[in-house]
Amino acid sequence: MQMSELDELYQELIMDHNRRPRNFRPIECPDREANGYNPFCGDTVTLYLKMDGADVADVAFQGSGCAISRASASMMTEAVKGKSGEEARQVFDAFHEMLTHPPDSEFEPDDALGDLEVLSGVSEFPTRIKCATLSWHALRSALDGGGETVKTE
């Protein structure tokens, strides 16, 4: 059975984060909280941030979504925990660039991405990019102060 593009999308690590999402929990009395909603598929995410000065002391999420959105949120929490708000924004930018760079352009993955690179296959599935970026938009909103629900459309 030829499933190469599909396997490219649903990498082993992504499936693992989908089945066992990390930091999939609420945070009591978070410093920041933001909601994300993807009207196209009904995915929702609530992102919680606990700050220690300028640093992300703890980050967690809840919500319902597809494998891509759940894995992306799970991996994001691991990637930004312990980083400064500024570093977390840089990871956001690198991640966003990885998924949305024009298909025929050169893309050099940023070292800051680490494991997140396994999500690069999503860029080949235009209808799924918003699944992967939903929680990230919620993160940026939370870093900005939170409040409004971010929408992907």
Partner 1 sequence: MSAAHISIDSDAIRRDFPILSRTVYGKPLVYLDNAATSHKPRGVIRALSDYYEGYNSNVHRGVHALSMEATDRFEEARSAVARFINAESPDEIIWTRNATEAINLVAHSWPQGNIEPGGEIVTTEMEHHSNLVPWQKVAADRGARLRFLPIADDGTLDLSGVDSIINERTRLLTIVHSSNSLGTINPVKELAAKARAVGAAVMIDGAQSVPHMPVDVQDLDCDFLTLSGHKMLGPTGIGALYAKRDALETMEPFLRGGEMVLSVTLEGATWNELPMRFEAGTPNIADAIGLGAAVEYLEAIGMDRVRQHEVELTGYALERFAELEEIDVFGPRDLSLRGGVVSFYASDIHPHDLGTFLDRRGIAVRTGHHCTMPVMGRLGVPATARASFYIYNTEDEVDLLVDALKDALRYFGNGPR
Distance CA 42, CA 121 (A): 22
Phi, psi of 111 (to 5 degrees): -60, -30
In whole angstroms, how close is the CB of 46 to partner 1 at the nearest point? 14
Contact window for partner 1 (CB under 8 A) among 35-43, 53-61, 100-108, 111-119: 35-43
Tell me how far CA of residue 62 lies from CA of 77, 87, 90, 93, in angstroms.
11, 23, 23, 23
Q: Which is nearer to partner 1, 24 or 31 (CB)?
A: 24
In whole angstroms, how close is the CB of 136 to partner 1 at the nearest point? 17
Instruction: Note the residues at the interface with partner 1 (CB under 8 A).
Output: 1, 3, 5-7, 9-10, 12, 15, 40-44, 64-68, 125, 127-128, 131
